Amino acid sequence: MRRRIWGVTVVLGLLAGVAPVADAAAAEPRHKPLPLERLFDNRAVSSDAQPGAADFDGSGASLSAQDLAAAGWTPGRSLTVDAARLKLPRTTPGEPDNVKANGQSVAVRGRGDALAFLVAGTGGEASGTGTVRYRDGSRAGFRLSAPDWRSGPLATKAVALPHINTPGGQLAEKARLYVVTVPLAFGREVASVQLPPDSGADLHVFAVSVRAAATGWTGSWSASTAGYTAVGPWSDRTLRLVVHTSTGGPRVRIRLDNTFAGTPVRVGSATVAVQEAGAGARGAPVALSFRGAAGTEIPAGAQAFSDPLGFDVPADSNLLVSFHLPQTVPAAPVHSQAIQRSYVSEPGDHTGDTAPGAYTSTISTWPFLTGVDVGGGPGSVVMLGDSITDGVRSTQDANRRWPNVLARRLLAQDEIPHYGVINHGISANRVVTDRYPGDGISTDTGGVSALHRLDRDVLAQTSARTVVVFEGVNDVRWGATAGQVIAGLREIAERARARGLRVVAATIAPCEGEKLCTAAADAERTAVNEWIRTDAGFDGVLDFDAVLRDPAQPARMLAAYDSGDHLHPGDAGLAALADSVDLKVLAG
């Protein structure tokens, strides 16, 4: 059963996020709610030719209109970030384009799982308590935090721009904008939002909307963006990516993400098919559309969902998702450890090809594609983890990651719903520290921390019901203390529960014999595991440490389960993890 929380005090200390707070703190609105654009009282954007025409932060500094346009963030454009659709202000440079929060009452309507705000702070991180009011007369408070536009974390930004305009000239310094969300009461219709009062640092709001719940959809396959790397370059090429479904359904849609990017990407066309073998399709690929068009442009940091398509998606099967890149793509957001061969074509749009002949090269990453949803179904279970969840050291092209094995177990039983299982493991990922900094081209694809990617990779996932958290070994291997890991896991649980998700934690697996798995690291690992087992208060615990360890040497993985590097289980060990899960713990 999903846990819904509203009208309850919850203090989470979020990084670029929000939390519900007590209804009793909510004040009555001072004015009739108005559309946000009628409340604009600050000028954030200037033209490079007239940099003094705006003053975002009180010192004369502002965002560059040219930089925003280069990122695809043009006035009046609607874009999607973390499944929330937001409309950018339809203004010209130098006109009011945002509101400094000071208790204004904003007209916002709709039902959904969250409110989304496009925000930034000036003068430091800005935060305060606002109120959401529902059509039925009820209300709930929320805490909204906006990181500073010049010093906030790049790992959680929606978009970063390369310059800052000032009356004295342009600075080569990154400006940031953020999308943050606040949970909504399930099933209630929003009537208005009262912004937080002025609290010192200025909290600027550019847009607000209700993020619609993904009703009628279940996540069947997903992957996290692990970094932004040099590719190809690909010019007039078609990518044919092979992905493996968990549950099936009669309709399909895909999700493409331009995460971490600084420029838009153009998708000319896209198709879906069931794989026959290699790059060959079983029957003619079927065309996808995007808001009625064959292709789409995805702004920097944004995402695109394809339109619903009647297509029989089989469970536990390989799909071919093909999309044409008509322009030159020198770098892309990627999931680096696909453990699956995918394909790149010779020049041309080959999305509709049934035969594999045009696909003459292979890749071992998943660029741009982050989700495949199917129609109907009971919702999905999200696996938040590192390389063990990612399937590193499992057999390539065989779909033997432990979430794959678990998905097959779910399909073969009728005690609990046939949830989709979506894998958000990232090799080298950590709970509390970013491996990839969150901006720019990098060879490191360890991703931003679990804390920094939680909104995107868990809370915004299609019909998420439960999250299973299996992380921490990389933290302790690289010197984090048990206390730091525990604090991170606790925050993940609190934030997920505030959104109505069930939270299940897995103990950290043993790894003695791997060079970074020292006795000191093992002591921290053991302390985290003891907390998970006895004090954490999760909705369920999976004791993966107990499953994998050698009884004679508890700090070491059982040889039969070891892939050979003493850190990653092989196929047998991954199957043992999946087989050990009490399926009832996923449903409550």
Q: What is the pLDDT of residues 71-102, one digit of tens each?
A: 999 999 999 999 999 999 999 999 999 999 99
Q: What CATH number has the domain bearing residue 513?
A: 3.40.50.1110
Query: In 3D, which of 285, 254, 259 has the Cα closest to residue 271?
Result: 285
Helices (H), 273-401: 387-390
For residues 536 and 464, state if they share a domain: yes
Please report the pLDDT score of residue 574 as a whole number.
Answer: 98
* H or E segment to which residue 408 belongs: helix 402-411
For residues 367 and 234, state if they share a domain: yes
For residues 133 and 260, state if they share a domain: no
- 3-state DSSP assignment of residue 198: coil
Please report the pLDDT score of residue 415 as a whole number.
Answer: 95
Domain final residue, candidates 349, 372, 395: 372
For residues 508 and 524, state if they share a domain: yes
Please report the pLDDT score of residue 26 as a whole number.
Answer: 43
Structure tokens at 368: 């741009």
Please report the pLDDT score of residue 398 as a whole number.
Answer: 98
Q: Which domain, by its residues, includes 402? A: 378-588
Domain final residue, candidates 342, 372, 402: 372
Q: Answer whether 321's CB lies under 8 Å from 272's CB.
A: yes
Q: Which residues of the chain have pLDDT under 50?
A: 1-27
For residues 358 and 388, state if they share a domain: no
For residues 197 and 244, state if they share a domain: no
Please report the pLDDT score of residue 382 as a whole number.
Answer: 98
197 in a domain, yes or no? yes
Class of residue 37 by CB neighbours under 10 A (exposed 0-12, middle 13-18, buried 19+) = middle
6 in a domain, yes or no? no
For residues 455 and 362, state if they share a domain: no
Q: Residue for token digits 């697996």?
A: 509
Return d(Cα 380, Cα 385) in angstroms, integer.
16
For residues 101 and 77, state if they share a domain: yes
495 in a domain, yes or no? yes
Query: In 3D, which of 488, 386, 419, 469 has the Cα closest to residue 2?
Result: 419
pTM equals: 0.94
475 in a domain, yes or no? yes
E-strand stretches of 437-512: 464-470, 502-506
Domain final residue, candidates 348, 372, 396: 372
216 in a domain, yes or no? no
- The total number of structural domains that make up the chain: 3
Please report the pLDDT score of residue 5 as a whole number.
Answer: 28
4 in a domain, yes or no? no
Please report the pLDDT score of residue 272 as a whole number.
Answer: 99
Please report the pLDDT score of residue 15 as a whole number.
Answer: 35
For residues 408 and 496, state if they share a domain: yes
Say which residues have a Cβ less than 8 Å from residue 377's Cβ, sequence separation at least 6: 217, 218, 220, 247, 249, 418, 419, 420, 463
For residues 41 and 125, state if they share a domain: yes
Structure tokens at 422: 């979506």
Q: How many CB atoms lie within 10 A of CB 274?
A: 18
Please report the pLDDT score of residue 535 as a whole number.
Answer: 83
Q: How many CB atoms lie within 10 A of CB 172?
A: 7
Return d(Cα 583, Cα 563) in angstroms, integer.
26
For residues 203 and 332, state if they share a domain: no
Please report the pLDDT score of residue 198 as a whole number.
Answer: 87
For residues 470 and 523, state if they share a domain: yes
364 in a domain, yes or no? yes
